[in-house]
Amino acid sequence: MEKREDKRSNKKKKYGFFSNIVYSYKLLFNTKRSFIFLIPLFIIFSILVTLISTYIPSLIVYFIENNFNIYTMLLLILSLALIFIVIKVTTDYLNEILSMGYLLTRATIPFLELSRKALSMDYELYESSKVKDALAKAEYGVSSNLRGLEGLYRKLPLLIIAILGFLIFGISTIFISYYVLIIVLVVFIINFILIIFVSKKHTKIEDDISKVNNKIRYFSNASENEVMAKDIRNYSLSSKFISLLSTYHKELRKHLIRLNFLWFIPSFELTLGALIRDLIAYAFLIYQAINNLISISEFVALFSSITAFNSYLDQISLYLDENILCSLEVKYFREFFDINNIFNHGSNKNKKCIDINTIKKPFEIDIKNISFKYEGSDKYIFKDFSLKINSGEKIALVGINGAGKTTLAKLLTGLYYPSEGEILVNGVNIKYLNIDEYYSRVSIINQDIYPLAFTIKDNIICSYPYDETRFNKVIEEAGIKERINSLKDKENTFITQNFSRDGINLSGGELQKMFLARALYKTSYFLILDEPTSALDPIAEGELYSKYNELVKDKTSIFISHRLSSTRFCDEIYFLENGKIIEKGSHEELMKQEGEYFKMFNLQAKYYKENLKEDEDK
Amino acid sequence: MKKAFSNLIKIFKYSFKSSKIAIFIVILIGLIKGLALFLPLIFNEQVVNLIYNSSVNSLGFKDIFIIASIFIVSIFLTNLLYSILNSYFNSLISLLYGTTDLLLAKRSLTLDYEVLEKEENKLMLQKARDGQNSSGGIGNFLSNIANLIQNIFVIILGFSYIGELFKVIDISKIVINEEVTSSLIFRFTNSWYIGLILVIFIILALILTILLISKMYKISNKFFEENVDYNHKYAYFARIFTDYHLGKDIRIFNLKDVAISRMKEIFFKLDESYGGLAKKVAKNQIGVSIISSFIILLGYILVSLKAYCKIIELGSIITIVGSITNVLNALVSIFSLSQDMLLQSTYLSYFEDYINLKNDDDKKDYVDISEVKAPYVFRFNHVSFKYPNQNEYALDDVSFTLGKFNKTAIVGKNGAGKSTIIKLIARFYKPEKGEILVNNININKFRFKDYQTLFGVVFQDFSLFPLTIKENVSGNKKINEEEIKEDLDKVNFNYQKFEKGIDTYLYNYIEKGIEVSGGEAQKIAIARTLYKDSDYVFLDEPTSALDPISEAEIYSLFDKLVTNKKAIYISHRMSSTKFCDDIIVLDKGKIIEEGSHEELMKINNGVYQELFNAQAKYYK
């Protein structure tokens, strides 16, 4: 594992500011072709608007100064004004169209790509804290109007406008004096250094802020979470949560005030620089004008230039900073796509890949000397573990909490991969199968049940084709047909109200039945049931047991349960303890051994023995 | 529109309430920003006039430079004041943001469960939160107010300079040749109505802007409803790919395709609605732009004429042209600002509505909890209850008493109404009909918080929090480390295996903590109930995640426990209910059997017998 990760981090590409810009805009232009022209147009027009409105007064002064014919003057101004109107109206219109385009681009394709990438990532990777953090950061790239991709779309044109404006109006200041230019450059360089310094501090404070924000988010969510609401009320935790939240908010505010103060430094330097610069520039300007070295119209033009130049200078330092932050978020977004899967997903042609259809059904599973431990833990869940399940065999897996049953289920369904040893399906190492194809042939009911907020039908048939007869058969087998048919929208009823106001909430037992139906609907050759009856009532539980043989016909199956009654109809029972099989055999055989299984069974059974109470009384 | 205005007023009032200085700062910032737009113009005008007339006034470089310096320094001071105020304002915004977030959390935490859980209230909260995220909340609203003030101030200042165009000179007093003064153009230029034309246009533009704003509001309002709905879904989609709990099933059942096709459907609709709105906004924006551009056209011509005819000074060209540009930009800004603010005020009104939600019994005269003397019993008196969005009654005219015996079990099939009983006793819901009494007093007559001290519950879907183990166990009670350790020992929770013992944090949200298995979590939850030390303990499926060994441990523990407490079990494991003195059997919302295990087993074809045998037959 560690070796693999090292390789990955070595390969990690560096995404710089410009590379992120190219990436973001390629993405934009792919969806909005016309933007290739519209954005430059917007930039040019924006500058023209400022140019015209800045120089109009000096132009009028020029006409008057040089005694132009009144009609010529009117004509010239009229035409200039008309041009100005066309440009201004176009700019305003473009601005609206562009910003909607930015939003639509950001909120759709990159978002879909990110979901696709996250959802097709190997589960073990996906679940690791590293990837979780990376994903949370990558999400920034697509989750807000002002950050990440959209932030870059909105703010880069503004930065370009500011830089171009700065250059255009800057050139005219050279006419006043070289000293002005030197001062401008000195002030700007100092400002740039300050910004870099402040940005560095900023990222440090930002880390603290995100830590506090995570805490705030947790308790804010907890305060409105329906499930937690019950414990919060019964154990009167409200006041504790409120006081924690206000402490965190106070801490957050402290950081934010520090940030404010930090950013005040470069802005103060800029203001102070502007004072010195202006004093010198205007001194030269006034001197030249008063000695008739320049005309009044030139004076007005230069004067206006300085004003425009000043405002562009402020904008550069503002937008530069914002663009850098947005580009950083785009970087996180891109980096997420560089995380490579370890399992074979069929996309890599160099890897040996075996067609799942050539494998004999139902699957024979052979676990050979595997070892496995969780990320960040030293304790091996399995060490040199082996187990063979014959084709079509029904086995039961029992043991105390933490024995490794659920982990084994994850390994066998291809969600985790063993760090040593191999898992063979009919003699073929899972590694050589396209894991997505393998997923399509195995089925599981997980212990923890999380439905998607779509319809009941979506949750049962998943992405497989709808077959009405088959659908009706599985909901009947799972014992949920009656419940579904009692609903107004039947199988098209939404679960929870996320996507429909008429959505309903199913109870734990009902969800478990629905998930059983899902596991059965799918054509699979290997089925794992992990505590499938924990929320079922005894009658429903009994029904599942009695139907079990019929349900898993043509499948290899594993039944994991704490209810030892469930093991009776399995061919072979394995008793797992600390990642090792300590007993195996049929129920009768294990009972005869009088080992751990025997002890556990009796512990459960004694409560069901008739007349126990009378026995005790005697 | 009326509603929008009342929303606006509500939010203004709210802003006032949260910080009086904020409003003062907002006004000051608006004024300073407006002034900052005009100061360079005035400066420019004055200096140009001084230089132009320098020969007449006999002013030298030094004099003019001193005057210029005064301007430059005052511009510097204005900018400095602005950045100081702005920095302060940003801190205020973060304060306001914190306050609003805290207020929402506070309201959620103190609402009755039933009110909190209501679908419409959840949606209201969602909208209030969306408002914070998508429109920036109250802080952004305030900075928009500052911008609005700035723009209004700019329009007023601009008008005062544009008023220069009304200036008319007495022909007899100037020295221009007669040919010029008698010309039509000069007479037209040198009249007051020339300025009036411009002002009329500006007023027309203002009126049109306001009309368009109200028209746009209607369009945006409809869009806003869609937007709220869309944000809700977008957030869920983000959850699909970030919540790793969903990840296992998504992979094995290829739910990725289902999720992605759902996303595409929603995005397609979004493309339609946002795209459509964008075009409408853009069209109306053009309306404002075109009208205002005519003002530019007219303004430029008038200014040049007046200057040409020397009716106004050269320097005034700068201020008038600058004022026209500023006024126009202000008009366009007001248009888009108003859009934002109306949307924000709608969003913020959800916030206001949410924090003003009322609990049903906020004002009642409470009965003191000390009236309830142990031993007390809970009595259901013809109670009926139905969940929202459901047709069937979860409980249907049910009457019984809990607490007659030390150990009571409630059993029944899935959906029979077992957990509902606990939720009603805990006052998470109110019965639709009938009443629940504790020692003959209706449970609703007590203060909610006091009432909760009467019992502790281990819920089927209990929650632990990312605090230390000891804080989890103590709840809101005073921390007594010895007792906490004792209770953890009782449930066989081994806290000593952690370096920090009971000071170890759970989970990884707040501090680096440990992950506990389902069984261990259940043990901590039970210890929490023990520490609460109420006379009653309710256990809803307390051992569902436990293996048989731990299960047996917990049962034997509870046998010891009930010597001085009353326990109510809900369980599907009939083995755990067998030893209860009293067993209540529910079926389809009604009580159909009640008695001890022996008594119930004697009822032939009874539900209890059926349930018990269904499990017992596997253990024979």
Answer yes or no: do A532 and A588 share one domain: yes
- Residue for token digits 């109107």? A85
pLDDT at site B179: 61
In chain B, residues with a C-beta closer than 8 Å to the C-beta of A498 are: 232-233, 236
pLDDT at A125 exceeding the cut of 70? yes
Same domain, residue pair A518 and A530: no
Phi-psi domain of B595 (left: phi exceeds 0; alpha: psi -120 through 50; beta: other): left
Nearest to A564 by CA among A575, A555, A552: A575
Q: How far is CA B373 from each of CA A363, B439, B456, rounded to the nearest angstrom? A: 65, 8, 17
| Lowest mean pLDDT segment, chosen from A51-55, A277-281, A296-300, B162-166 | B162-166
Q: Is the CB of B546 less than 8 angstroms away from the CB of A245?
A: no
pLDDT at position A570 over 60: yes
CA B231 to CA A134: how far, in whole Å?
Answer: 23
Does the pLDDT at position A11 exceed 70? no
CA separation for the pair B617, B612 (Å, rounded): 9
Q: Answer whether residue A616 is part of any domain.
A: no
Amino acid found at B123:
L
Cβ neighbours of A436 in B, within 8 Å: 254
Residues in CB range of B296: below 8 A, 6 or more apart: A81, A84, A85, A88, B324, B325, B328
Does B546 have pLDDT greater than 60?
yes
Q: Do A510 and B263 touch (CB under 8 A)?
A: no
Looking at the domain assignment, is residue A612 inside a domain?
Answer: no
In a domain, A123, yes or no: yes
pLDDT at A611: 47
**Domain-located, residue A353:** no
Domains within chain B, CATH numbers bracketed? 2-355 (1.20.1560.10), 369-461+534-619 (3.40.50.300), 465-515 (no CATH)
Per the listing, tokens 């037992």 go with A509
User: Could you tell me which residues come within 8 angstroms of residue A9 by beta carbon, excluding any fewer than 6 positions away?
Assistant: none
Using alpha carbons, select from A608, A297, A445 the residue that is nearest to residue B578: A608
| Separation in Å, CA of A288 to nearest CA in chain B | 9
Contact A463 B254 (CB under 8 A): yes
The DSSP bridge partners found for residue A396 are: A559, A573
Give the distance, in angstroms, between the CA of residue A314 and the centroid of all CA atoms in the same chain: 35
Q: Select from B48, B133, B237 the Cβ nearest to the Cβ of A296.
A: B48
In the DSSP assignment, the letter for residue B165 is G
> Touching check for A496 and chain B: CB below 8 Å?
no
CA atoms within 13 A on the CB side of A56: 33
Cβ contacts of B552-559, under 8 Å, gap ≥ 24 = B552/A603, B552/A604, B553/B491, B553/B492, B554/B491, B554/B523, B554/B526, B557/B490, B557/B491, B557/B492, B557/B526
Q: Are residues A161 and A222 in the same domain?
A: yes
Q: What is the pLDDT of residues B168-218, one digit of tens each?
A: 777 666 656 666 666 777 777 777 777 788 788 878 877 887 888 777 777
> For the segment A447-476, what is each residue's pLDDT rounded down to a tens digit?
878 888 889 999 998 888 899 999 999 999
A435 & A483 share domain: no
* Total number of residues shown for chain B: 620
Q: What's the whole-model pTM score? A: 0.81
Contacts of B246 in chain A (CB under 8 A): 450, 452
Tell me the CATH number at A463.
Answer: 3.40.50.300
For the record, the structure tokens of B116 come out as 């909190």
Residue A1 located in a structural domain: no
Out of A225, A296, A536, closest to residue B314 by CB: A296
What's the rounded mean pLDDT across residues B234-262? Answer: 81
Query: What are the CA-CA distances from residue A582 to residues A189, A397, A579, A585 (Å)?
Result: 73, 11, 9, 11
Nearest chain B Cα to A608, which residue?
A: B616
Last residue within a domain, chosen from A475, A503, A522: A522
Structure ipTM: 0.83
Of the candidates A451, A401, A438, A443, which has an alpha carbon nearest to the alpha carbon of residue A561? A401
Of B98, B264, B572, the CB nearest to A536: B572
- Assess A426–B contact: CB distance below 8 Å, yes or no: no
Can you spell out the DSSP letters for A199-225?
Answer: HHHHHHHHHHHHHHHHHHHHHHHHHH-
Same domain, A69 and A141: yes
Residue with the bigger pLDDT between B30 and B20: it is B30
Q: Which of A481, A499, A522 is the last residue of a domain?
A: A522
Alpha-carbon distance A3 to nearest alpha carbon in chain B (angstroms) = 25
- Per-residue pLDDT for B101 more than 80? yes
A253 inside domain = yes
Q: How many domains does chain A have?
A: 3
Q: State pLDDT tens for residues B593-613.
A: 999 888 888 888 888 888 888
Q: Which of residues 3-32 of A touch B (CB under 8 A)?
A: none
Q: Are residues A318 and A434 in the same domain?
A: no
Q: Is the pLDDT of residue A614 over 50?
A: no
Q: In Å, how far are A227, A478, A511, A521 from A518, measured between CA atoms?
A: 25, 9, 10, 5
Per-residue pLDDT of A574-597, as tens digits, reads: 998 888 888 888 888 888 888 888
pLDDT digits (tens, 9 = 90+) for B137-157: 788 888 888 999 999 999 999
User: Residue B245 and residue A307: Cβ atoms within 8 Å?
Assistant: no
Percent of chain B with pLDDT over 70: 94
pLDDT at position A8: 44
Interface of A with B in 120-139 (CB under 8 A): 120, 123, 126-127, 129, 132, 135-136, 139
Asked if residue A349 belongs to a domain, the reply is no
Question: Mean pLDDT for chain B?
Answer: 83
- Among candidate residues A275, A303, A337, the one where a domain is terminated: A337
Q: Are residues A257 and A391 in the same domain?
A: no
Q: Are residues A464 and A558 in the same domain?
A: no
Q: Which of B113, B509, B519 sits opposite A214 (nearest CB)?
A: B509
Are A125 and A242 in a shared domain? yes
Cα nearest neighbour of B509 on chain A: A215
Q: Looking only at Cα atoms, what is the longest distance across chain B?
A: 128
Judgement on whether residues A275 and A321 belong to the same structural domain of the protein: yes
Q: What is the DSSP letter of B506?
A: B
Q: Identify whether residues A216 and A97 lie together within a single domain.
A: yes
Q: Which of residues 549-568 of A touch B (CB under 8 A)?
A: 562, 564-566, 568
- Whether residue A355 lies inside any domain: the answer is no
**Helices and strands, number each (H, E), in chain A:** 22, 10
A539 shares a domain with A482:
no
Domain holding A462, by residue range, is: 448-522
- CB atoms B255 and A246 under 8 Å: no
B572–A541 CB contact, under 8 Å: yes
pLDDT at B177: 60
Please tell me what DSSP assigns to residue A357: G
pLDDT of residue A489: 87
Q: Do B300 and A501 touch (CB under 8 A)?
A: no
Q: Kindly indicate the confidence band of residue A610, based on its pLDDT and cuts at 50, 70 and 90.
A: low
Interface check for A300 against chain B (CB to CB < 8 A): the answer is yes
B314-355 and B2-18 helices, crossing angle to 10°: 90
DSSP category for residue B572: S
CA distance, residue B598 to nearest chain A CA (Å): 9
CATH number at residue A223: 1.20.1560.10
CB atoms B475 and A268 under 8 Å: no
Stretch B370-383: mean pLDDT, rounded? Answer: 88
**Chain B contacts of A286, Cβ < 8 Å?**
47, 51, 61, 64-65, 68
- pLDDT in the model for residue B30: 93
